[in-house]
Chain A
Amino acid sequence: MRKDLLSKKTVSLKPSGIRKFFDVVSEMPNAISLGVGEPDFETPWHVRKAGITSLEQGKTFYTSNSGLKELRTEIGAYMDRKYGLSYDEDDILITVGGSEGIDMMLRAILNEGDEVIVPEPSYVSYVPCVIMAGGTPVTIDLQDKYEFRLQPEELEKAITKKTKALILPYPNNPTGAVMEEEDLQKLVDIIEKNDLYILSDEIYAELTYTGKDHVSIAQFPGMKERTVIINGFSKAYAMTGWRMGYACGPREIIDQMRKLHQYCIMCAPTTSQYAAIEAIKNGDEDIQMMRESYNERRRIVVHLLREMGLPTFEPLGAFYVFPCIKEFGMSSEEFATRLLEEEEVAIVPGTAFGDSGEGFLRISYAYSIENLKEALSRLEKFITRLRQSN
């Protein structure tokens, strides 16, 4: 097949750094992994049961393009009780995971040449989706010294006349960073002054460890009308395989997203939507149990990494820790590859999430404590050897 006959834009996209690493790991069946970006819990049984029951009842047809009305009503109620944000059913679109929402939102707002600011390290799909939607990604290299929180000066510097939108990826995958109320407050004027749209990817909103609830940028005056919140069921309810996401935002944008969604997807999977209704109605206790469990593991991992002398800022969201490995003078990819070869531990290099991830590793703590301890003791052996040989 001649590559020059294919879409130039698609061919030009870089393959995901994760994919490359995945292929190496697949060759090593005995490797223990801290590389997974999804919960280790199975979906709570009552939620699975709701999906099964819907199948038994023969609910095997398409839903409306937007998704089941009951589900959108429940999401509206949830947004109200969590954030005091009021979304009508028509301001909500049920998507196939948060990922689809990201794509649809960008395609709904971008014209050729529009710039979108993408703070990095962050989730792997933002840049490709911006490019495929005809936009130009402008990345911001978030900094370790600010615990990877987006600074107002960094944002201001990245804005040009062509800037259309800002992606706010918090709580963050891969760093575990959060933006607290006072951090977001500092961005509000800049966003307003430059008339930006915001894509706020809040898929990890339920997993924060600040002792306070997650704050959404849409809660600030003047922000809701320019923000599309991307959220979903994958992380909060351990439902990754169900592919259940949703977008809440201004009706003009959601209307355009719905149109695209209708042509591309038709509707999100019906079984998953019925399960999602049960999750959002009766899943608060599940979330709390899982959050507490992640929090214990988070503390252990941070403690062990610091004990072995790796500089590690305290991640207050998601289920990732982002330790710094700059002292070893090798690239993240080289470090991760050697760790895999020598100790059979798979950890994703920070650069899989953007160039500014160089010098860092993404450690997922969505694993059992025994697994975490074993993997980290191997990591310690590895770095002890590195330090001795230097």
Chain B
Amino acid sequence: MNKIEKQLLAMMENNSRIAPKEAAVRLGIKEVDVANALKKLEETGVICGYNTMIDWDKTGIDRVTALIEVSVTPQRNKGFDDIAERLCKYPEVDTAYLISGGFDLMLILEGKSLKQVSEFVTNKLAVEDEVLNTKTHFILKRYKDHGTMMDKQKGDKREKVTA
């Protein structure tokens, strides 16, 4: 990974919409170099998608986000991969991590109704043979997400003109 790629990633992690022209000016490099670096990062899967950060609370649409702790029995030779990959096939699962500590897998289901989450847990997750137990947490309030404060105070606290 070269310096331009690193700088681009650092910049785009917080703003994926930045235009290549602006990125080039900000980094003091040529636009074509930005385009080439981006292409490479996408092709090699370093950049694997562009998402939009939405504060759903502000839309009035009722959605819940569930964090589900899952304890499983690992399988011989396959460890946790087999069961994790099977669970990932469910479109309800947005995020899945293997976790160290008190449990094994962390599944995150975003933007579902309470009923959808409960159906997933009882009918799809708990019935898997390897799944020993589950613990479902619901997010009550999002303060900060992906480095962004959800209720950022706008406005400049400084005096308007100073020496």
Is B28 touching A16 in the complex (CB atoms < 8 A)? no
With a cutoff of 8 Å between Cβ atoms, the chain B residues found around residue A68 in the complex are none
In the assembled complex, how far is the CB of residue B160 from the closest CB belonging to chain A, in whole angstroms? Answer: 4
With a cutoff of 8 Å between Cβ atoms, the chain A residues found around residue B156 in the complex are 33, 36, 40, 367
Nearest residue, chain B, Cβ from A301? B25
- In residues 360-390 of chain A, which contact B (Cβ within 8 Å)? 367
Judged by a CB distance under 8 angstroms, whether B140 is at the interface is no
Judged by a CB distance under 8 angstroms, whether A299 is at the interface is yes
Which one, A26, A31, A123, contacts B163 given CB within 8 A? A123
Judged by a CB distance under 8 angstroms, whether A352 is at the interface is yes
**Interface residue count on the A side (C-beta < 8 Å):** 27
Judged by a CB distance under 8 angstroms, whether A205 is at the interface is no
Is A35 touching B26 in the complex (CB atoms < 8 A)? no
In the assembled complex, how far is the CB of residue A165 from the closest CB belonging to chain B, in whole angstroms? Answer: 22
Judged by a CB distance under 8 angstroms, whether B86 is at the interface is no
Judged by a CB distance under 8 angstroms, whether A300 is at the interface is yes
Is A303 touching B163 in the complex (CB atoms < 8 A)? no
Nearest residue, chain A, Cβ from B18? A369
Judged by a CB distance under 8 angstroms, whether A21 is at the interface is yes
Judged by a CB distance under 8 angstroms, whether B158 is at the interface is yes
In the assembled complex, how far is the CB of residue A91 from the closest CB belonging to chain B, in whole angstroms? Answer: 28
Which one, B11, B25, B161, contacts A303 given CB within 8 A? B25
Is B161 touching A36 in the complex (CB atoms < 8 A)? yes
Is A36 touching B25 in the complex (CB atoms < 8 A)? no
Which one, A35, A173, A295, A299, contacts B160 given CB within 8 A? A35
Judged by a CB distance under 8 angstroms, whether A37 is at the interface is yes
In the assembled complex, how far is the CB of residue B76 from the closest CB belonging to chain A, in whole angstroms? Answer: 45
Judged by a CB distance under 8 angstroms, whether A38 is at the interface is yes
With a cutoff of 8 Å between Cβ atoms, the chain B residues found around residue A18 in the complex are 161-163
Is A31 touching B158 in the complex (CB atoms < 8 A)? no
With a cutoff of 8 Å between Cβ atoms, the chain A residues found around residue B11 in the complex are 296
Contact with A along B124-163 (1 / 0, CB 8 A): 0000000000000000000000000000000010111111
Judged by a CB distance under 8 angstroms, whether B22 is at the interface is yes
Is B26 touching A33 in the complex (CB atoms < 8 A)? no
With a cutoff of 8 Å between Cβ atoms, the chain B residues found around residue A348 in the complex are 161
Is B160 touching A33 in the complex (CB atoms < 8 A)? yes
Is A36 touching B160 in the complex (CB atoms < 8 A)? yes
In the assembled complex, how far is the CB of residue B8 from the closest CB belonging to chain A, in whole angstroms? Answer: 12
With a cutoff of 8 Å between Cβ atoms, the chain A residues found around residue B114 in the complex are none
Which one, B26, B159, B162, contacts A299 given CB within 8 A? B26
Judged by a CB distance under 8 angstroms, whether B27 is at the interface is yes
Is B160 touching A22 in the complex (CB atoms < 8 A)? yes
Judged by a CB distance under 8 angstroms, whether A133 is at the interface is no
Contact with B along A6-40 (1 / 0, CB 8 A): 00000000001010011001100001010111101
Contact with B along A278-309 (1 / 0, CB 8 A): 00000000000000000111011001000000
Is A37 touching B163 in the complex (CB atoms < 8 A)? yes
CA distance A21 to B28 in the complex (A): 34
Is A40 touching B163 in the complex (CB atoms < 8 A)? no
Which one, A35, A40, A297, A367, contacts B161 given CB within 8 A? A35
CA distance A173 to B162 in the complex (A): 11
Is A40 touching B159 in the complex (CB atoms < 8 A)? no
With a cutoff of 8 Å between Cβ atoms, the chain B residues found around residue A35 in the complex are 160-162
CA distance A242 to B26 in the complex (A): 31
Is A38 touching B162 in the complex (CB atoms < 8 A)? yes
With a cutoff of 8 Å between Cβ atoms, the chain B residues found around residue A125 in the complex are 163
Interface centre among A25, A300, A303, A346 (most CB of B within 10 A): A303
Is B161 touching A346 in the complex (CB atoms < 8 A)? yes
- In residues 78-117 of chain B, which contact A (Cβ within 8 Å)? none
Nearest residue, chain B, Cβ from A31? B160
Is B162 touching A37 in the complex (CB atoms < 8 A)? yes
CA distance A35 to B27 in the complex (A): 24
CA distance A352 to B163 in the complex (A): 9
CA distance A26 to B161 in the complex (A): 9
Judged by a CB distance under 8 angstroms, whether A124 is at the interface is yes
Contact with B along A346-361 (1 / 0, CB 8 A): 1010001000000000
Is B160 touching A26 in the complex (CB atoms < 8 A)? yes
Is B26 touching A296 in the complex (CB atoms < 8 A)? yes
In the assembled complex, how far is the CB of residue A137 from the closest CB belonging to chain B, in whole angstroms? Answer: 17
Is A300 touching B160 in the complex (CB atoms < 8 A)? no
Could you list 19 further interchain pairs (A-B, Cβ under 8 angstroms) beyond the known A38-B158, A296-B27?
Answer: A18-B161, A18-B163, A26-B160, A33-B156, A33-B161, A35-B160, A36-B156, A36-B161, A37-B162, A38-B162, A40-B156, A40-B158, A123-B163, A124-B163, A173-B163, A295-B28, A299-B28, A346-B160, A346-B161
List 28 A-B pairs, Cβ < 8 Å: A16-B163, A18-B162, A18-B163, A21-B161, A22-B160, A22-B162, A26-B160, A33-B161, A35-B162, A36-B156, A36-B159, A36-B160, A36-B161, A37-B162, A38-B162, A123-B163, A125-B163, A173-B163, A295-B28, A296-B27, A299-B25, A300-B22, A300-B25, A300-B26, A303-B25, A346-B160, A352-B163, A367-B156
A-B interface, 10 closest residue pairs, ranked by CB to CB distance from nearest: A35-B161, A296-B26, A22-B161, A33-B160, A37-B162, A18-B163, A303-B25, A124-B163, A25-B160, A36-B158
